[in-house]
């Protein structure tokens, strides 16, 4: 294992961390090692690291994987990254916004370069854009086997929560539609420079070969999910009737919901991922 040198690199390059980019760099060797352990890497794995910062975790990833592609949005960190990672020949640094980069092309190019058989994403995500990044990888990017993210503790709880709990919502359903999520461990603020105001959690997302539920129309499924949680205090019938995208009146909605063996005054927050799928298919027919 490589020695954590976060503070040294920050001082050497006189770095000023950008709050708007959510920059909090890990400064704990044990946490870095445990995150990389959770990624389950070997020499046949290509790692896509989002937001490497100054490369503290990148070094550990490179020691275990076939290759690491580090995508960093902040151009001011690139010199420090290049310097800190100069001893490694299996790291490629891309200065780009992960929300704008062509991830499929990047994966294809570097999977070929390193002759890797699997692809995993590892990231200490900026908390202000956590959900859009995760959903982009789940919905748009192909060929990924698993992802390990550091996220705000509350967001991790939402991703693993089940029906009827206070944390269960549209994000829970979306994540569990595409993958099997598992909380690995929590990370306290003192493990970072600078210290964030929130607690963090490492979550592992194992991508399913097929979605966890078969749906006829995926767009309808997610519209249905968003409408069901958009007004949590309303019944499912009222929430869907007000959504505006269904050509069904309240009576028709009641009949469909009751045909599933559910009460007509049920709220969307108690439906499982599978029940949302069944309802979506019935509404679309």
Known binding residues for S-adenosyl-L-methionine: 24, 26, 51, 72, 97, 124
Q: How many helices (DSSP H) and strands (DSSP E) are in the chain?
A: 12, 9
What is the β-pairing status of strands 91-95 and 67-72? parallel
CA 180 vs CA 7, 172, 275: distances in Å: 35, 11, 17
Residue bearing tokens 């598992």: 182
Whole-angstrom distance, CA of residue 268 vs CA of residue 225: 8
Task: Tell me, rounded to whole angstroms, the distance of Cα 32 from its chain centroid.
Answer: 18
Give the Cα separation of 10 and 17 in Å (integer).
Answer: 9
Q: How far apart are CA 6 and CA 31, in angstroms?
A: 13
Only one residue has tokens 């993210």, namely 149
The length of the chain is 285
* Interacting residues of 85 by C-beta distance below 8 A, sequence separation 6+: 55, 58, 59, 62, 70, 91, 93
Binding residues: 24, 26, 51, 72, 97, 124
Q: Which helix (H) or strand (E) holds 180?
A: strand 179-187
Q: Do residues 229 and 268 lie in contact, with contact meaning Cβ atoms separated by under 8 Å? A: yes
Q: Are 116 and 151 in contact (CB under 8 A)?
A: no
* Whole-number Å distance between alpha carbons of 161 and 132: 19
Q: What is the CA radius of gyration of the chain?
A: 21
């Amino acid at each position: 294992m490589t020695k954590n040198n976060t503070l040294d690199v920050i001082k050497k390059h006189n770095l000023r961390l950008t709050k708007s980019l959510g920059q909090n760099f890990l400064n704990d060797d044990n946490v870095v090692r445990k995150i990389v352990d959770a990624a389950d890497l070997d020499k046949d794995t290509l790692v896509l690291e989002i937001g490497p910062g100054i490369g503290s975790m990148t070094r550990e990833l490179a020691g275990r994987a076939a290759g690491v592609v580090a995508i960093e949005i902040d151009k001011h960190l690139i010199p420090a990254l290049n310097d800190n990672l100069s001893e490694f020949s299996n790291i490629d640094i891309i200065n780009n916004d992960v929300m704008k980069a062509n991830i499929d092309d990047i994966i294809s190019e570097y999977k070929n370069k390193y002759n890797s058989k699997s692809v995993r994403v590892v990231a200490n995500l900026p908390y202000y854009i956590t959900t859009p990044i995760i959903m982009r990888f789940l919905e748009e990017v192909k060929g990924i086997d698993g992802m390990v993210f550091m996220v705000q503790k509350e967001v991790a709880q939402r991703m693993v929560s089940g029906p009827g709990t206070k944390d269960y919502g549209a994000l829970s359903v979306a994540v569990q539609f595409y993958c099997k999520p598992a909380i690995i461990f929590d990370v306290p603020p003192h493990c970072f420079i600078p210290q964030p105001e929130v607690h963090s959690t490492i979550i592992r997302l194992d991508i399913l070969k097929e979605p966890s539920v078969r749906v006829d129309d995926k767009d309808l499924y997610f519209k249905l999910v968003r409408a069901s949680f958009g007004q949590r205090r309303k019944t499912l019938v009222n929430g869907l009737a007000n959504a505006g995208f269904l050509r069904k009146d309240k009576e028709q909605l009641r009949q469909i919901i009751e045909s599933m063996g559910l009460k007509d005054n049920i709220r969307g927050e108690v439906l499982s991922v599978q029940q949302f799928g069944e309802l979506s298919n019935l509404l679309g027919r």
